[in-house]
Structure 1
Amino acid sequence: MLKKFYKVFIAPYTLYVLYLMFLGMGRYQFEDNIVRLEPVFSTIRFIEGTISWKDIVVLILGNVIMFIPFGFLGWAFPRLIELKSLVFTFMSAITIAEGLQYFTRMGVFEVDDIILNTFGVYIGWRICKWIERKLSV
């Protein structure tokens, strides 16, 4: 039952996440293409330059929490049951999405986003494995 629900849930959820990445949360098209390749330090600089804790929480926790459901992709796509294949596939997809943000100028290509999003997928995968063990799903 849980896996069936997930299979129905994940497609609209993916569209919602893509909407947020490209159009949501007051996004606008930047004048220049922006890329931030320096891991961790660009997020630290953002935190130092941000007064609002809400913005910090939305940026960091949002980039992790929003991607936890993708850790369950093995339920919809059995080839993604193993962590290695899931992470490789997800990192490829999120890198393409970040690249599209760069080329459309509807966001910033950020290595930190890829890292945080992938960490969210890893947490989701761990939760998925825990659920499978506890509930024999």
Structure 2
Amino acid sequence: MYLLCLLNFVTIKFFGSFQAVQKRINDVLLQREMYGIWNISLEPFQSIKASVYSFIRDPGFGVVTLFLVGNILIFVPLGILLPLLLKKPSYTKTMLISLGIIVSIETIQFVTCLGIADIDDVLLNMLGSTIGYLTYFMSKKMMHSNKNMKRIKP
């Protein structure tokens, strides 16, 4: 269920209007045709830097902040859920599966013209997944520690 919601929220962005989705696709195709601008950004930190500079000029919780924070927070659950689903969870497995999902989403955005495939999205999404995994790991350690403390007490 999480992956379906993620796919909709990040890629399709269907919130009740098929016309809005079709307009986004048409806009991307028009940019390709008229200006030769493709919906892909492979220069690392380009959009992150632009967002940080914009935030410095106009601090507040606006679109720029939403881009940075949203791209991280929306993938935190992935980093928590994947280890719960794996028989032998590990950081490496969780990150590789996360990377596969994230790159798949970016590829879908590029191919379907539903968005911009951006390397910065991959970096921010992986950060979110890492935060999620660390949350899972710390929670597991705390639960294990609590079990040991209960055994020690008479």
Within the candidate set 52, 63, 66, 1:58 is matched to 66
- Matched-pair identity in %: 20
User: What is the aligned partner in structure 2 of residue 23 from structure 1?
Assistant: 12
CA offset at residue 43 of structure 1? 2.4
* In structure 2, C-alpha distance between the alignment counterparts of 1:42 and 1:58, rounded to whole Å: 13
Report whether the alignment pairs 1:77 with 2:82. no
Q: How many residues align?
A: 125
Within the candidate set 116, 131, 142, 1:134 is matched to 142
Unaligned 5+ segments in structure 1 are: 1-11
Deviations 1:2-34 (Å, cap 9, x if unpaired)? xxxxxxxxxx12111100122227652122341
User: What is the aligned partner in structure 2 of residue 125 from structure 1?
Assistant: 133
RMSD over aligned Cα, in angstroms? 2.2
Unaligned 5+ segments in structure 2 are: 33-37, 148-154
User: What is the aligned partner in structure 2 of residue 87 from structure 1?
Assistant: 95
Greater C-alpha Rg: 2
Asked if 1 retains the 8 angstrom alpha-carbon contact of 2:71 and 2:128, the reply is yes
TM-score by length of 2: 0.72
* In structure 1, C-alpha distance between the alignment counterparts of 2:109 and 2:101, rounded to whole Å: 13
* In structure 1, C-alpha distance between the alignment counterparts of 2:8 and 2:40, rounded to whole Å: 20
Larger RCO (alpha carbons 8 Å, 6+ apart): 1
* In structure 1, C-alpha distance between the alignment counterparts of 2:3 and 2:110, rounded to whole Å: 19
User: What is the aligned partner in structure 2 of residue 3 from structure 1?
Assistant: none
Name the aligned partner's letter for residue 18 of structure 1. Answer: L
CA offset at residue 67 of structure 1? 0.3
